[in-house]
Structure 1
Amino acid sequence: MNMGEILWGIAPIGWRNDDIPEIGAENTLSHLLSDIVVAGFQGTEVGGFFPEAKVLNKELKLRNLKIAGQWFSSFLIRDGLEQTASLFHKHCAYLKEVNAYVAVVSEQTYSIQGMQQKNVFAEKPYFTDEEWEKLSNGLNELGKIAEEYDLKLVYHHHMGTGIQTLAEIDRLMDATDPNHVHLLFDTGHIYVSDGDYMTLLAKHINRIKHVHFKDVRENIQGECKREGLSFLQSFLRGMFTVPGDGIIDFTEVYEYLLRADYSGWIVIEAEQDPAIAHPLEHALIARKYINEKLLMLHV
């Protein structure tokens, strides 16, 4: 990837969801990848239902698509480095086989993101100083492992986890080695968490090596917050959507990335129920927004 080169992808989460595998279960890999081609994207991220590397590579080659990366749930605080590193080696080996760019890591110790009855707006977990140290040191080591496979570790701040807010992201960036631990910037998660996305982008642009463009339906976010819904309930209600269908101004974000010579993937990601939000229809909404609002921007 050249300096300043941006690749556009769309995540499989609009078709099938790893947290609730039964939704969208009828959408096959061929269906997903072919929809991505129809919508004009260059690639995707690996979903939990994806096949072994050899099978996936054939399907990608047939459609001239690439893999950006894949989510990894780390439990460094709960399980320690040795056990986590063993699983992460396997994760990275697969990603290298499918020619991915990044390994997306999110610490899931105490996470409530998959719990149906936990209020995601009020019951997020917090880490002790000792847990912060364990996590930070562990991530530095996982970052080095990723590099053995020609990958970058990008940390995914996420609603319902111990690293969700700007203050928590600041602390993580201060505590980890910038040579080995990079950041995934997710517009939707930081907006729902803090009501602001540009501060994080500007503050940590030098650490950002992967981007998720996720939009938010502010009226539905308000409903979910008032009702004290869980993360799963909130996205099933329709809190998240694709760019061009919500409140976030991606022109501001994209202009900033261009000025900073950002190089890497921008992946459209919106957790939605595919029975309600037609995946291809929403992929095309996102593509139209990108073409009409973003790609003509010159910095």
Structure 2
Amino acid sequence: MPIRIGANPIGWSNDDLQEIGGATSLETCLAEAREAGFTGMELGHKFPRQPAALKAALAPFGMDCISGWYSAELLQRDADEEMRHLRPHLDLLKAMGSTVLVFAETSNAIHGDRSKPLSQRPVMSAQDWAEFGHRITQVAERTLSEGVRLVYHHHMGTIVQSEADIDAFMAATGPAVHLLLDTGHATWGGSDPAALAARYRGRISHVHAKDVRPHVMTQAAAEGWSFLDAVLGKGSDLGIYTVPGDGMVDYPAVFRALPGYSGWVVVEAEQDPEKAHPLTYAKKGVAHLKHSLKEAGLV
């Protein structure tokens, strides 16, 4: 598969706080995504979850279904139970021809709770990584046997946030488990996304591309903001995340560290659409990604 540029609808309608962008229709999101140059979309809460209805929604805009987020609870249930919960989502992805499953542990996550600063995010003890990794590997092996690769989404406010967390996670999991490299979460979490790309190149099968406004990152840490408060921004100010080319991430360096990469690069830059016009930012992000991929020699 060549490199394709897709989008997550979170720039139009927020999934964690659904009133943000709540008035934006799915049709507007898809039409503007197509106008910006995207050829595929990840799922959000406004998308149908039946294959026929989802295909009917995407087809007028020439959009493929890339994947969709799945909230796992493997700290609390074994692989068999997780597969039972996962089954409807996995079957939908298979029916849509999706080849990757965006997967994150959320049983004790705080990213959706505005009352909790990120300093209160959960941290795994050293002795718990092995069992957690074993369970995820079991799930990943089963989804891969059905043609869908599990790509783990490291995420602020969860147990896999920092560079040390990512290293521990990768060490604890088997080769069926791949990493979703998220440039924005990596940067905010204290990692260099290009260094992560180089270190785990052989196990990176999906990329989320969002940029980081450094002054917001500094303020959020100093004032103890929650994840959502940082994403949405205080008052009239813009939030921490933005599209590629509008922040501090060196995208050519990231892509140079991914030689031979094929698959999706997904703009997933959640912002408040009342402050950051989705189509304007989407076009800027696509343009910067195309330039960066060309500079890195990937297209």
Structure 1 contact 93–149 (Cα < 8 Å) conserved: no
Aligned positions of 1:92-111 closer than 5 A:
92-111=90-109
Aligned positions of 1:1-299 closer than 5 A:
1=1, 5-51=2-48, 52-120=50-118, 122-178=119-175, 180-237=176-233, 238-257=239-258, 260-295=259-294, 297-298=296-297
Deviations 1:22-69 (A, max 9, x none): 111112221111111100111110112210221111222222211111
Structure 2 contact 40–63 (Cα < 8 Å) conserved: yes
- Structure 2: distance between partners of 1:292 and 1:83: 44
Which SS does the other structure have where 2:91 is aligned? Answer: helix
Which SS does the other structure have where 2:46 is aligned? Answer: coil
Deviation at 1:145, TM superposition (A): 2.5
Using the size of structure 2 for normalisation, the TM-score is: 0.93
What is the number of residues matched between the two proteins?
292
Specify the alignment match of 2:236 in structure 1: none
94-103 vs 127-136, which moves further: 127-136
Amino acid at match of 1:22: E
- Structure 1: distance between partners of 2:145 and 2:54: 22
Structure 1 contact 92–149 (Cα < 8 Å) conserved: no
Residue ranges of structure 2 left out of the alignment (5+ in a row): 234-238
CA gap of 1:129–1:249, structure 2 versus 1, over 3 A, is closer
- Structure 2: distance between partners of 1:131 and 1:110: 14
- Structure 1: distance between partners of 2:196 and 2:152: 13
Which SS does the other structure have where 1:46 is aligned? Answer: coil
Structure 1 contact 72–103 (Cα < 8 Å) conserved: yes
Identity, % of aligned positions? 37
RMSD: 1.5
Which SS does the other structure have where 1:235 is aligned? Answer: helix
Deviations 1:188-226 (A, max 9, x none): 111111152222111111110000111000011111111
Deviation at 1:236, TM superposition (A): 0.4
Deviation at 1:296, TM superposition (A): 5.0
Amino acid at match of 2:53: V
Deviation at 1:10, TM superposition (A): 1.1
Amino acid at match of 1:117: S
Structure 2 contact 11–269 (Cα < 8 Å) conserved: yes
- Structure 1: distance between partners of 2:212 and 2:72: 26
